[in-house]
Amino acid sequence: MDYKVSVVIPMYNVKAYFKDCMDSLLNQTIGFNNIEVIIVDDHSDDGSFEMAKEYEKKYNNITVTRTEERSKVAGHPRNVGIKLATGKYLMFTDPDDFYTLDACEIMYNAIEEKKADFINANWRNADEDGTPWEKPVFDLEKYKDFEMTMTDYRDSFFVMNSSMCNKIFNREFIMKNNIKCLEGVPAEDAYFTMSSFLVAKKVFYISNIIYNYRQRNNNSLSVSWNCSREYFSQINTAYKALYEKFVEFNKIDFYRFMYARSSTYMLYKFIDSTLLTDEDRIEILSEMRWYYKLGQTLNVPACQKSLSILLRKIIAGSYKDVIDICKIIAEVRSYMTKDMKERMSKPYTEMYNEMMKSKWPIED
């Protein structure tokens, strides 16, 4: 059977949500017979694996397999799924999320028509009960369909998110360029999508909403939600790999804008974490000092005055002062709504505009 699309699903303990995900695939307007589903279970112990096996018994285009041992993050399961896929194109979903019912048809038609290496689409969040939010992530008026390039910091940068789940990839393109997820660390999807963008010849954004990302109220199984000492150690490894990838392709101009976004986000995760001792924080700051020093090298300003002070202290190695400042900021943020926190964790558009005007590289 020549499948139009292979959908890869990494799975771990999602029994409560998995039916919604599978229903969204079974009822695709492209016809479920045109889809290959590959479920790679990472040793679930809540009945998710057994549930998936029941689907496999019922449908001959569903394959369910297990990782050799628990890998704890999605990178390895996704790589296993990519290797097993046979469809012309690759799509990805997390098992607690779900597609719009026309997602595969829209994405398949778009990538066929445009002869692209991959297509990046719009998406939206959903409540834990599966109710989609009214507004999508990317403004429908501001971002119309267009061809994306790595030299476009006004539109392409803003819609090029790290997720693999709102995209469709030409499988031959992925295999030919040996593009893989990082394994054993978070941000495995950012590495995959940015590796794809770095080598792609044709990439398009389409404004169609094709994916629903479920906001779980207590997602303790999520690596990025559980901001432990181990998480920051792993994210440090991932960020080094991602930076080295951009250096390899000499695309630091684009990386500067990525850095502005991710460094602010990561610093607030560090501030907000309630799982770290002061000793943990000192170790993390020491390990990630290279990353925050990079902001000076790249001429990326801090997006808020309080962060500017914090970054100077980190670079100077004044870690005890950093911890004291972090506690004050964390206290202030504890009174904020989730939406306010999220807005605060992102640089403002004006900052990106200033970066476009600033000299780079810095002249001696």
DSSP secondary structure string, 278-300?
Answer: HHHHHHHHHHHHHHHHHHHHTT-
| Residue-by-residue DSSP string for 95-139 | TTSEE-TTHHHHHHHHHHHHT-SEEEEEEEEE-TTSPBPSS-SS-
Residues 299 and 171 in one domain: no
pTM for this predicted structure: 0.93
List, in order, residues 6 or more apart from 198 with CB less than 8 Å away. Answer: 150, 245, 246, 249, 251
Phi, psi dihedrals of residue 314, rounded to the nearest 5°? -65, -50
Assess whether 178 and 35 both reside in one domain.
yes
**Same structural domain, 83 and 156:** yes
Boundary of a domain, candidates 214, 249, 267:
214
**Do residues 203 and 73 share a domain?**
yes
The 3-state DSSP class for residue 185 equals coil
Segment among 100-109, 135-144, 169-178, 331-340 with least mean pLDDT? 331-340
- Cα torsion 186, 190, 196, 199: sign: negative
Give pLDDT, residue 364. Answer: 44
Structural domain contains residue 139: yes
Q: Is residue 363 in a domain?
A: no
In terms of residue numbers, what domain contains 238?
229-357
241 and 331, same domain (yes or no): yes
For residues 245 and 192, is the Cβ–Cβ distance under 8 A? no
Residue 223 has pLDDT above 60, yes or no: no
In the predicted model, is pLDDT for residue 362 greater than 70?
Answer: no
Both 308 and 168 in one domain: the answer is no
Task: Give yes or no: residues 38 and 141 share one domain.
Answer: yes
Domain membership flag for residue 62: yes
- The token duo for 104 is 């595969």
* 13/158 same-domain check: yes
Q: What secondary structure, in 3-state letters, does 60-76 show?
A: CCEEEEECCCCCCCCHH
pLDDT above 70 for 225: no
Specify the DSSP class assigned to residue 363: P
Domain boundary among 190, 214, 238: 214
- pLDDT greater than 70 at residue 236: yes
Q: Do the domain assignments include residue 332?
A: yes
> Can you tell me whether residue 254 is helix, strand or coil?
helix
* Residue 363 reports pLDDT greater than 70: no
The answer on 188 and 259 residing in a single domain is: no
d(CA 25, CA 171): 19
Number of structural domains found in the chain? 2
Question: Is the CB of residue 4 less than 8 Å from the CB of residue 30?
Answer: yes
The model's confidence at residue 343, banded by pLDDT at 50, 70 and 90, is: confident
